[in-house]
Structure 1
């Protein structure tokens, strides 16, 4: 995602599902050991040798990962969490910016060590990847037209509505399951989505409540709102890495747990989410 307009705060539709894990099976013969066998290098071994952690993120998802206004500096809630994790592990960090649809593939093929971009923990992904301890808890909402809420009260009202976003997101999948018509976008900025809702090209965009609230507040001239009562899909986000990389996972978890316990993640959250602490589970009534 390198097309972000740096003067516009952007949110993108997270939840891409990509790739499958290739598992190597080593067969041993008749109890006989081979002293020449070499232990395969783990990601953690390589990270330690190189002294750096390579992380995929979008650079276009406000406030998780974006470029500060009038600056090339990459920042955001998850960017700063990754920086602090690397610091606590005595590592440098290198960011690789890419679209959400490419991140999990890059993790799987070893092009990056980890990815963080408001990536939801789902059962399907847990079968293919490893996750850190979660550090953000949220739920799904929708941006709709201000005058009529796009005719939506519950998820059942999505039948026939035009829902915008990326094809592979969890939120788009939820929309399609409830009868919404997909309108697929590539890598566009917030104002494109919100203006298309305002002008009727879209009826809604389904996404994370906190991200949508901040996006709408950042563009008050566009006549859209976050739906006042629609709440669904309680979810948690975390750093994602290759399956079975237990050493890397353990070290990252140790740093995350320290940061949760000493209030660091709460402080970072309040900086990027207008005072909200997303490390705590929200107290809302969720639609089943």
Structure 2
């Protein structure tokens, strides 16, 4: 093979060198095509050695990840959940703020260790990433104009409507599937979305019910409402990390379980969601 049999006068020492090189090459190919759980262990070990876990988040999504008014301080439901998780794991936490569309890529390429930004747990994403156990449960709603609900009663009425959102979200995909014209925004704050519904640049914003309710409540001067009857897409959110990081996932899940059991997550939820406990599944009729 590889020309060795054709060169019968090849010296013994040269033969050994060639075979050794081939073994090394084959071994390298084997390792590249058959990754083991060592990578998962090495990331958790690396995090422990650094004493810091790097978290990707947007910093613009109220009330889950945002900057307090007149302050540079990052806070929010998931931000404070992550701070407590890090504390219980004896780690410092470093937040890396970026656009929502960049979060999954940042996890995949190792720029951040994990990401948290109201990220829906879906079967498709679970094929590519590891998720923590959920610590938030919700469903989809819609922000529409107050005067006519933007002509929307059901999801079928999205056909031909202009729906605003980030490119990679589940809600943008739901709008597209029901015939909406997508209008893509890059990591803008809530007031931009809401004013564009009010002024007609958009007809609707599809997103999480709790997030939308608080956004509308926080900006009462903008003439929009959360749709009073439209409820769809029951969902759960969790922390996302690279596929195969099983040890890291296990460590985080252990702490989340403790925080759910001792009421810590419920307390944080009520602080940021106007008294609502988003750590339990809502009891509501959902449009199929």
TM-score range, shorter chain: 0.7 to 0.9
1:107 maps onto 2:107 in alignment: yes
- How much does 1:190 deviate? 1.4
Partner of 2:224: 224
1:56 maps onto 2:56 in alignment: yes
1:26 maps onto 2:7 in alignment: no
Question: Structure 1's 182 and 26: CA in aligned 2 closer, same or farther, altered over 3 A?
Answer: closer
Partner of 1:79: 79
Please identify, of 179-188 and 55-64, the stretch whose mean Cα deviation from structure 2 is larger: 179-188
SS state of the match for residue 287, structure 2? coil
Question: Contact (CA 8 Å) 2:65, 2:79: kept in 1 or not?
Answer: yes
Partner of 1:127: 127
SS state of the match for residue 202, structure 2? coil
Question: Structure 1's 242 and 24: CA in aligned 2 closer, same or farther, altered over 3 A?
Answer: farther
Question: Structure 1's 227 and 24: CA in aligned 2 closer, same or farther, altered over 3 A?
Answer: farther
Q: Distance in 2 between matches of 1:73 and 1:57?
A: 14
- How much does 1:26 deviate? 3.4
User: Which of the pair is proportionally richer in helix?
Assistant: 2
Superposition pairs for residues 159-174 of structure 1, below 5 Å?
Answer: 159-174=159-174
SS state of the match for residue 66, structure 2? strand
SS state of the match for residue 188, structure 1? coil
Partner of 1:44: 44
Unaligned 5+ residue runs, structure 1? 1-22, 28-38
Q: Distance in 1 between matches of 2:34 and 2:220?
A: 58
Partner of 2:22: none
User: What is the TM-score with the length of structure 2 in the denominator?
Assistant: 0.86
Partner of 2:243: 243
Deviation sequence 1:145-171 (CA, Å, 0-9, x none) = 101101111001111111111121110
Q: Distance in 2 between matches of 1:162 and 1:24?
A: 45
SS state of the match for residue 66, structure 1? strand
- How much does 1:24 deviate? 4.2
Q: Distance in 1 between matches of 2:219 and 2:205?
A: 15
Partner of 1:259: 259
Partner of 1:188: 188
1:142 maps onto 2:151 in alignment: no
SS state of the match for residue 127, structure 2? helix
Deviation sequence 1:102-159 (CA, Å, 0-9, x none) = 1111111111110000000011100000000100000000000101101111001111
Could you say what the CA RMSD is over the residues aligned between the two structures, in angstroms?
1.5
Unaligned 5+ residue runs, structure 2? 1-30
Question: Structure 1's 24 and 170: CA in aligned 2 closer, same or farther, altered over 3 A?
Answer: farther
Partner of 1:116: 116
Q: Distance in 2 between matches of 1:92 and 1:179?
A: 45
Deviation sequence 1:22-65 (CA, Å, 0-9, x none) = x94339xxxxxxxxxxx556210101111111111111111000
Higher Rg of the two aligned structures: 2
Over 6 Å off, 4+ runs: none
Question: Contact (CA 8 Å) 2:62, 2:190: kept in 1 or not?
Answer: no
- How much does 1:249 deviate? 0.4
- How much does 1:77 deviate? 0.3
Q: Distance in 1 between matches of 2:188 and 2:53?
A: 28
Partner of 1:8: none
- How much does 1:186 deviate? 1.6
- How much does 1:176 deviate? 0.6
Paired residue total: 256
